[in-house]
């Protein structure tokens, strides 16, 4: 196994894209040297609950709420997962519990209020490895991006600058009938960083054994298909470059080009999801 000079940012509960990155890397003999697990302590809902119940009870209520939500989501995702796995032909098990220690040399958990947290910024500043792969959620502020010497790689579901912003997978499909992915170094704009790699794929034919509602299909496509193709483009990148990940050749984006799209309205989303699947 080759350990790369790369640190992965993942959420406290690693998301589907983080799982896809790690599983794909491991299957191909490369892994990041370090994983930083970001535990946000002051989610907005916890803050709101704290006003009424106090902080410790608020955290407990919120944890239980998350567990319930996760259980509900896992129930329908586990039903859909098999069909998507068969249609696309991948072997990643997105719903299994993962132990991060199996994917790296060092796992560090950091409790932070936000990315602007001073202790967190100081920690990152002193990090030996200066190249990060972003597999967490939320907008990364300039405070973090401006730390001298650090480079954060991001994988976006859309060919930038044409498709920037939210729901990139669905806008890509709508505009080009394809899946498009871009790898770039993050900057303070929304998906405006210097482009390292781009690739398009035909959207896989999806077959489902039974009827699922549009919201469930939307979530499943995001969880499995989006994460799978993100990991595929990461793999292409790593197969070409395992050294010097902080200084990959890249091209500047034309800021005047393209559009930033926003979260898709459920009505449009439903129309697109119906076009994507064949039941």
**Where do contacts with other proteins occur on this chain (CB under 8 A)?**
171, 174-175, 259-265, 267-268, 271-272, 275
| Burial class of residue 90, CB neighbours in 10 A (0-12, 13-18, 19+) | buried
Nearest CB to other proteins, comparing residues 61 and 175: 175
CB of residue 266 vs other proteins: minimum separation in angstroms?
8
Cβ atoms within 10 Å of 78's Cβ, excluding its own: 11
Query: Do 185 and 194 form a contact (C-beta atoms < 8 A)?
Result: yes
Of 240 and 259, the one with the shorter C-beta distance to other proteins is 259
- The least distance separating other proteins from the CB of residue 33, rounded to whole angstroms, comes to 37
Peptide bond into 161 cis (omega under 30): yes
Whole-number minimum distance, CB 183 to other proteins, in Å? 24
> Nearer Cβ to other proteins, position 61 or 174?
174
Do the beta carbons of residue 236 and residue 199 sit within 8 Å?
yes
Q: Please, what is the minimum distance in Å from the beta carbon of residue 270 to other proteins? A: 9
Answer yes or no: are the C-beta atoms of 32 and 3 closer than 8 Å. yes
User: Residue 71, Cβ neighbours under 10 Å: how many?
Assistant: 9
Q: Return the number of the residue (115 or 171) whose C-beta is nearest other proteins.
A: 171
């Amino acid at each position: 196994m080759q350990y790369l000079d790369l640190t992965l940012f993942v959420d406290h509960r690693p998301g589907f894209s983080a799982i896809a990155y790690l599983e794909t890397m491991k299957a191909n003999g490369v892994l990041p040297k370090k994983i930083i697990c970001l535990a946000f302590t002051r989610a907005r809902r916890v803050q709101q609950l704290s006003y009424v119940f106090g902080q410790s009870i608020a955290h407990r209520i919120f944890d239980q709420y998350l567990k319930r939500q996760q259980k509900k989501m896992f129930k329908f995702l586990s039903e859909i997962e098999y069909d998507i796995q068969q249609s696309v032909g991948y072997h990643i098990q997105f719903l299994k519990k993962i132990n991060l220690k199996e994917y790296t040399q060092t796992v560090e958990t950091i409790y932070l209020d936000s990315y602007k947290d001073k202790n967190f910024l100081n920690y990152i500043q002193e990090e030996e490895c200066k190249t990060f792969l972003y597999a967490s959620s939320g907008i990364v502020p300039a405070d973090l991006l401006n730390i001298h010497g650090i480079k954060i790689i991001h994988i976006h579901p859309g060919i930038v600058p044409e498709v920037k912003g939210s729901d990139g997978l669905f806008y890509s499909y709508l505009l080009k009938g394809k899946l498009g992915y871009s790898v770039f170094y993050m900057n303070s704009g929304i998906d405006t960083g210097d482009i390292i790699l781009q690739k398009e794929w035909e959207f896989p034919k999806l077959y489902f054994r039974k009827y699922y509602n549009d919201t469930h299909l939307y979530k499943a496509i995001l969880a499995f298909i989006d994460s799978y193709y993100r990991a595929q483009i990461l793999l292409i990148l790593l197969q070409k470059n395992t050294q010097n990940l902080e200084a990959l050749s890249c091209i500047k984006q034309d800021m005047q080009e393209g559009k930033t799209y926003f979260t898709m309205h459920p009505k449009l989303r439903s129309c697109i999801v119906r076009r994507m699947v064949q039941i």
